[in-house]
Amino acid sequence: MRSFAVIGLGRFGAAIARYIEEEGGEVVAIEKDASKVRDYESEFTSVVEADAASIKSLRELGVSDVDAAVVSIGTDMAASILITLLLKELGVPLVIVKAQGPLHGNVLKKIGANRVVYPENDIAKDIARQLMWPGYNELELAPGLVILEISAPRAFTGKPLKKLKIRSAYSANVIAVKRKEPFLTEENQTDYKEKVIAPPDPETVIESGDSIILVCPASSVDKFRGMK
């Protein structure tokens, strides 16, 4: 079982801890505010009242053995910087830190944070993209690389994948095609179920209403957005 440390139980930290446990991961949640510890002690398997800015406390809690740590400190930038340094000193292989702004984020990157996140910014960006580009769903795999789900453009429909030459035209690889197939219910009504073709054959013909899931460079995303 993969193990994680989540430091700071604000809304973001608590949500991360909750989702990790729901996915079957093991979490030690560390919070120095006693009232927050009481709020979450019945929800999470392990909630500890401790000051994560102490390397002694981190060692005693076994943080040096976790697979990854998430630092979600409120507005105390100095504390998040110090905790990030301590986690890297303890050899935690993956340290993800919530930043308050670009300057804070730049400092975190320079001292070794593997990933810096701006939750409010990221959520706002995702919502704006969904509003501007309905039918498009994007997930970052790594810096500069994304998984993109798009509604099949009209230019693609009726054609097999091999003729679309998506790899050469967009530097993208199609990893799945999602399709709604009709069926009759017990009440003899027409309903639809989703079929996922993964991986699709080069002869797979794209139909109207299909969704295409691809892996592509972030720089290629705008090319797909311009298609209808």
Which pLDDT belongs to residue 55?
95
Tokens of 186: 């017990």
- Full-model pTM: 0.62
pLDDT at residue 41 tops 80: yes
Return the exposure string of 108-139: e unless at least 16 CB atoms fall within 10 Å of the residue's CB, then b: beeeebbebbbeeeeeeeeeeeeeebeebbbe
Residue 157 DSSP SS3: coil
CA distance 80 to 193: 47
Q: What is the pLDDT of residues 112-171, one digit of tens each?
A: 999 898 887 776 666 666 655 666 677 777 778 888 888 898 989 999 999 999 999 889
Q: Which domains does the chain have, with CATH numbers?
A: 3-121 (3.40.50.720), 133-225 (3.30.70.1450)
